Amino acid sequence: MEQNVTELSFEQAVAKLEEIVRELESGNPDLETSLRLFEEGVKLSRRCLELLDHAKGRICKLTQQENEEPKLEPAENEFGIE
């Protein structure tokens, strides 16, 4: 993988994951390549889930604000994602 998984946006991670799925479904890669692609896919899947969880936290924070004008604030997270 050229770019570190933690630097990918959700859209980039999904696109790379789709590429991996297409490659694996083609039946062309040998066993070692298939295992490497699967490992990359797991990392990408985790990145997508991490970003979705962060987005969910931001949405929850927004909807829980009472008697205020809605404003979107970054949720606190352990990954440093904004």
All structural domains of the chain with their residue ranges:
5-64
Decide if domain 5-64 falls under CATH 1.20.120: no
Token digits of residue 67: 């008697």
pTM beyond 0.75, yes or no: no
- What is the 3-state secondary structure of 10-76? HHHHHHHHHHHHHHHHHCCCCHHHHHHHHHHHHHHHHHHHHHHHHHHHHHHHHHHCCCCCCCCCCCC
More confident site: 66 or 39: 39
Neighbours of 8 (CB within 10 A): 20
pLDDT digits (tens, 9 = 90+) for 5-30: 999 999 999 999 999 999 999 999 99
More confident site: 2 or 34: 34
pLDDT digits (tens, 9 = 90+) for 40-55: 999 999 999 999 999 9
